[in-house]
Amino acid sequence: MNAILSLVKSDYIKLLALKRTLLLFGLASLVFSVMSVRFTAGVIIGVYALVLTVISYDQASAVHHFYCALPVNRSQIYNARYLFGFSLLLLLSTAMGFVAWLSSFFTPPAFSAGGLMINICIGIAAGVLYLSLMLPLNLCLGTQKARLFNIILYIAFFIVGVNHSDFLLKIALFLSRLPFLLVLLPVLLLLFLFYFLGLTIYNKKEFKEES
Amino acid sequence: MTTAITIRGLEKSLGNFHLSIPSLDIPEGYVTGFIGENGAGKTTTIKLMMNGLFADAGKISLLGADSRQKNQSFKQEIAYVGDRSGFLAQATLNQLQAMYRSFFTRWDQERFQKLAGHFDLNLKKPFKNLSSGQQKIFSLCLALAHHPRLLLMDEPTANLDPLIRQEFLHILRQELEQEGITIFFSSHITSDLDKIADYVFFIHKGKPMMDLAAKDQLMDDHRLVKGDSRSLTAACRSLLLNIQDNGFGFTGLTADFPAFRALAGDGFAYDLPTLEDVFINYIRGERE
């Protein structure tokens, strides 16, 4: 199996091993999915808790000893973490969207069909933005050194997600009227800028005990 | 003789500590003991080999491949058992082996099951519920299950009880006989290396104390000499390291037993030293 896919697989196995975290935050996200104004917050809770939990536990168990034993280089480790984060974001958003759609058969729907799609898109966009900031920070600095940034990032994204979903919807509606590339380009630029900056630093990172 | 590990001009600074190994060639197919006190540079050297740390200068080759090269696939033939495993403590042994095996093309599930069975490892147990000895044994089972040509181990027998340590060394001996692998084994427990090592390399304060030596030759060359201090001539003293005088006489280590005996004759007691005797006397001799 490709080394990056093997690393992603090992991250998912770790998540299964941390079943209490997976259950608690997975369920919390699904509960948020049926509340129209809190859909984005649910995505952020899930992504924050699940991705950061795996990174934190890795650091606590000095995972660099495990990496040293494997036929992988630092770029592959870094890329695998991105793939893990973004695949989890997609899975979570899809599951949340499915639960929101399913719940509409039993309770008065929180979304119109179009509203649900917009919420999923906002959730994914917020998740991408959150991950593109959170992943390089935590991979390069380690979760201990990055903890202050983590708290600030989480609070900022969570508060916006919970309290200002109408505001986000207005932004989304405004953006939907702009040419697609004009919206996509700045987000992609930010994502790639942080990605390459983080990759350059991570490639030079030595695996010491606090890594 | 082909070499499994080659080091040339290795330099690495970490804070106040400086590691410097000008040259080292570890022969393939043998057990080499890497001996040094805590903080001597053993872990740093092995981390440099495994690309966990980067050298300030010099080069390390493992099975002919540059340890820093971008393509790390040469590690398919290398196994590493570190002082810590890096495994998620909450994961079960089954989950950990599922993580590990997908990286290795030559993974042998039957062999893993056999090794785990030999040590009565319950694969449904979480890693954290294993004793530290069982955790090391599990790491060794994983390391050997992909048929490595080179096994690097950092203090693998530290904190193991004597029974588990014997089992551990027994497995290593078996590997050597059946698979012909090269074992590079750092330890400050020299009694383990007395039993298993073919070659030894001593390191002290980040520098080699002597060139790589065949253990049997080292033992042949060295003797612990004991006797009456008054019979010790200046010429004899010059052939002794770390002379310890006490009320009953002296003890010292000679690195040239044939020359010493030719000079001093049979008036002294000559004891075969252990690796620990050699190591300690060299360090004390250097301090003097």
The crossing angle, in degrees rounded to 10, of helices A113-141 and A180-203 is: 20
d(CA B86, CA B47): 13
How many CB contacts within 8 angstroms connect chain A with chain B? 93
- The alpha carbon of residue B96 is apart from the nearest alpha carbon of chain A, in Å, by 8
Q: What is the pLDDT of residues B224-265, one digit of tens each?
A: 999 888 888 888 888 888 888 877 888 999 999 989 888 888
Nearest to B184 by CA among B55, B278, B193, B174: B193
B124 lies within 8 A of chain A by CB: no
CB B267 within 8 A of CB B242: no
Q: What is the pLDDT of residues A110-124, one digit of tens each?
A: 667 677 777 777 788
- Same domain? For B175 and B260 the reply is no
Find the radius of gyration of the CA atoms of chain B. 21
pLDDT computed for residue B13 by the predictor: 95
CA distance, residue A136 to nearest chain B CA (Å): 19
The reported pLDDT for the residue numbered A168 is 64
From the list A38, A34, A30, A29, the residue with the least C-alpha distance to A166 is: A38
Confidence at residue B65, expressed as pLDDT on a 0 to 100 scale: 95
Residue B91 DSSP code:
S
Same structural domain for residues B70 and B155? yes
Tell whether B24 and B141 lie within a shared domain.
Answer: yes
Beta bridge partner(s), residue B202: B35
Q: Are B220 and B242 in contact (CB under 8 A)?
A: no
Helix (H) or strand (E) holding B256: none
C-alpha angle B126/B49/B59, rounded to 5°? Answer: 165
Q: Are residues B95 and B146 in the same domain?
A: yes
Predicted confidence at residue B236, as pLDDT, reads 86
What is the DSSP pairing of strand B249-254 with strand B199-204? unpaired
- Kindly indicate the confidence band of residue A211, based on its pLDDT and cuts at 50, 70 and 90: very low
Is the Cβ of A64 closer than 8 Å to some Cβ of chain B? yes
Q: Please report whether residue B230 resides in a domain.
A: yes
Shortest distance, CA A59 to any CA of chain B (angstroms): 9
Answer whether residue B77 is part of any domain. yes
pLDDT at A204 (0 to 100): 93
Q: What pLDDT does A176 receive?
A: 66
Contact B89 A18 (CB under 8 A): no
The closest CB to that of A61, out of B50, B53, B87, belongs to B87
Please indicate if any CB of chain A lies within 8 Å of the CB of B17.
Answer: no
Structurally, chain B folds into a number of domains equal to 2
B52·A206 Cβ contact <8 A: yes
Residues B112 and B207 in one domain: yes
Does residue B240 share a domain with residue B172? no
Boundary (domain end) residue, out of B216, B248, B283 = B216
Q: How far is CA A55 from the centre of its chain?
A: 12
Give me B278's structure tokens: 């050699």
Based on the domain organization, do B156 and B231 belong to the same domain? no
Any CB–CB contact under 8 A between B146 and chain A? Answer: no
DSSP letter string, A50-63:
HHHHHHHHHHHTTT
pLDDT higher than threshold 60 for residue A164: no
**The token pair that represents A116 in the structure block:** 């649900």
Least confident of A66-75, A99-108, B160-169: A99-108
Angle between helices B93-101 and B132-144 (to 10 degrees): 30
Structural domain includes residue B259: yes
Res A107 pLDDT > 80: no
- Residue B148 in any domain: the answer is yes
B91 vs A contacts (CB less than 8 Å): 13-14, 17
Q: Is A73 helix (H, G, I), strand (E, B) or coil?
A: coil
Structural domain contains residue B30: yes
Tokens of B253: 């280590």
- The Cα B147–Cα B67 span in angstroms is 20
Q: Which of A93, A81, A96 is nearest to A15 (CA)?
A: A81
Q: Do A14 and B88 touch (CB under 8 A)?
A: yes
Domain that holds residue B259: 223-272
Regarding whether B162 and B65 lie in a shared domain, the answer is yes
CATH assignment of the domain containing B72: 3.40.50.300
Q: Among B216, B239, B255, where does a domain finish? A: B216
Residue A183 has pLDDT above 70, yes or no: no
pLDDT of residue B69: 92
Do B123 and B247 have their domain in common? no
**Judgement on whether residues B194 and B232 belong to the same structural domain of the protein:** no
CA distance, residue A21 to nearest chain B CA (Å): 12
* CA-based nearest residue in chain B for residue A65: B86
Query: Is residue B121 domain-resident?
Result: yes
The answer to whether the Cβ–Cβ distance between A3 and B103 falls below 8 Å is yes
What residues in A contact B143, CB-CB < 8 Å?
Answer: 69
A211 touches B47 (CB < 8 A): no
Domain match, B44 and B98 both? yes
User: Using an 8 Å Cβ cutoff, are B186 and B32 in contact?
Assistant: no
- The alpha carbon of residue B257 and the mean position of all alpha carbons in its chain are separated, in whole angstroms, by 25
Global pTM? 0.87
Helix (H) or strand (E) holding B225: strand B223-227
Q: CA A12, A43, A97: angle at the middle one, nearest 5?
A: 95
Domain-embedded: residue B86: yes
**Residue B279 forms part of a structural domain:** no
Span A14-61, pLDDT tens digits: 999 998 888 888 888 887 777 665 777 788 888 888 999 999 999 999
Question: Are residues B207 and B245 both part of a single domain?
Answer: no
Amino acid B46: pLDDT? 95
Under-70 pLDDT residues of chain B: 287-288
